[in-house]
């Protein structure tokens, strides 16, 4: 166990150049100012956990990074390139940004294997056998290779989410977005998903993770970003954030989720 902690200690993993950069990002949902002048830089190889009360804008923030949500003003760049507005350029960018959803969103009419091979085949032009080989390896890596021929509905939530991670990884993304990946899971399945995410972090994947799993943040994150009311209120390394939050809002939020 001690060995594992040494391995996973984020401070031993180095981070590189800025990869995802948000500058002065604003977004409204009608009257609601859901993102207010958000500035965030995520470096290559960095794992950033976004935490905050519901309605704080953290999921919206995550979804703006592959433009599933548009923004009203400000800029978002990935590897120095601004997000394209639409069309093929946007599709190409999305292929580079993996996304894992709260509700898994596996393609319900396709087998587990097809879910993972669809992107490489239809977007990257991989051959069927090539895509199949890669998908089998990925399913092996997330521990569901024996479920390859089943339909998503035949799998448990934890298995479905691990397939969803494999589906995103199949595109060889530069960065992975996780939008509350364990919030829809039964408690006994949360760890199997978090374990996959931790090992991904260990392998140097750049990750932006919206989650309330403080255990994951402590094990794998370089940085915790605390959001409230559409703003980034506080940023710190996990230990500092959880033990000595600077802002009153963060202290208030932590007191509510730490009491149990």
Partner 1 sequence: MHSGYLDDLGTVLGQYDVLAAFWVNIQLTVYAGIIALVLGTLLALMRISPVPSLRWAGSTYVTLLRNTPLTIIIVFFVLGMWGQLGFTLGPDFPTNFFRLSVLGLAVYHAAFVCEAIRSGVNTVPRGQAEAARAIGLGFWPTARLVILPQAFRGAVAPLGNVLIALIKNSTVAAAGSVAEASGLMREMIENSSSVILGIFLVFALGFVVIVVPVGLATTALSRRWAVAR
Q: How far apart are CA 97 and CA 178, in angstroms?
A: 11
Nearest approach in angstroms of CB 5 to partner 1 is 33
Nearest approach in angstroms of CB 70 to partner 1 is 12
Under a CB-based contact definition with an 8 Å cutoff, are residues 56 and 249 in contact?
no
95 vs 145, which CB is nearer to partner 1?
Answer: 95
Asked if 128 is part of the footprint of partner 1 (rule: CB under 8 A), the reply reads: no
177 vs 232, which CB is nearer to partner 1?
Answer: 177
Under a CB-based contact definition with an 8 Å cutoff, are residues 239 and 49 in contact?
no
Q: How far apart are CA 29 and CA 165, in angstroms?
A: 29
Nearest approach in angstroms of CB 144 to partner 1 is 17
Asked if 168 is part of the footprint of partner 1 (rule: CB under 8 A), the reply reads: yes
Please provide the DSSP assignment of 138-172 as one string: HHHHTT-GGGTTS-GGGS-HHHHHHHHHHHHHTT-
Quick one: 190 exposed, middle or buried, by C-beta within 10 A (0-12, 13-18, 19+)?
A: buried
Q: How far apart are CA 183 and CA 4, in angstroms?
A: 25
Asked if 4 is part of the footprint of partner 1 (rule: CB under 8 A), the reply reads: no
Site for partner 1 in 61-80 (CB under 8 A): 66, 68
Asked if 193 is part of the footprint of partner 1 (rule: CB under 8 A), the reply reads: no
Site for partner 1 in 11-40 (CB under 8 A): none
Nearest approach in angstroms of CB 205 to partner 1 is 16
Asked if 256 is part of the footprint of partner 1 (rule: CB under 8 A), the reply reads: no
94 vs 132, which CB is nearer to partner 1?
Answer: 94
Asked if 95 is part of the footprint of partner 1 (rule: CB under 8 A), the reply reads: yes
Place of tokens 């915790």: 224
Site for partner 1 in 144-163 (CB under 8 A): 151, 153-154
CA-CA distances (angstroms) from residue 257 to 95, 127, 239, 242? 35, 48, 16, 11
Please provide the DSSP assignment of 101-146 as one string: -TT----TTS-HHHHHHHHHHHTS---HHHHHHHHHHHHHHTT-GG
Q: How far apart are CA 5 and CA 219, in angstroms?
A: 7
Asked if 184 is part of the footprint of partner 1 (rule: CB under 8 A), the reply reads: no
Site for partner 1 in 96-125 (CB under 8 A): 96-99, 101, 103-109, 118-119, 122-123
Under a CB-based contact definition with an 8 Å cutoff, are residues 81 and 20 in contact?
no
8 vs 105, which CB is nearer to partner 1?
Answer: 105
Nearest approach in angstroms of CB 234 to partner 1 is 29
Nearest approach in angstroms of CB 82 to partner 1 is 18
Where on the chain is the footprint of partner 1 (CB under 8 A)?
Answer: 66, 68, 86-88, 91-99, 101, 103-109, 118-119, 122-123, 151, 153-154, 164, 167-168, 170-171
């Amino acid at each position: 166990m001690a060995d594992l902690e040494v391995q996973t200690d984020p401070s031993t993993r180095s981070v590189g150049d800025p990869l995802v950069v948000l500058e002065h990002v604003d977004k409204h949902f009608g009257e609601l100012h859901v993102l207010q002048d958000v500035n965030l830089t995520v470096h290559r190889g960095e794992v950033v956990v976004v935490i905050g009360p519901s309605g704080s804008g953290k999921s919206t923030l995550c979804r703006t990074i592959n433009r599933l949500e548009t923004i009203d003003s400000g800029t978002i760049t990935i590897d120095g390139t601004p997000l394209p507005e639409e069309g093929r350029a946007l599709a190409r960018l999305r292929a580079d940004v993996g996304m894992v959803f709260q509700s898994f969103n596996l393609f319900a009419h396709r087998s587990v294997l097809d879910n993972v091979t669809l992107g490489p085949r239809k977007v990257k032009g991989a051959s069927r056998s090539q895509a199949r080989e890669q998908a089998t390896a990925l399913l092996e890596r997330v521990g569901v290779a024996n479920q390859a021929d089943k339909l998503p509905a035949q799998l448990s939530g934890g298995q479905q989410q691990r397939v969803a991670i494999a589906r995103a990884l199949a595109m060889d993304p530069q960065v992975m977005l996780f939008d509350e990946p364990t919030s829809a899971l039964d408690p006994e399945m949360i760890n199997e998903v978090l374990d996959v995410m931790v090992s991904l972090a260990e392998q140097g994947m750049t990750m932006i993770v919206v989650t309330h799993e403080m255990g994951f943040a402590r094990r794998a994150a370089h940085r915790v970003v605390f959001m409230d009311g559409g703003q980034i209120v506080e940023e710190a390394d996990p230990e500092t954030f959880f033990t000595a939050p600077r802002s009153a809002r963060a202290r208030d939020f932590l007191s509510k989720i730490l009491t149990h």
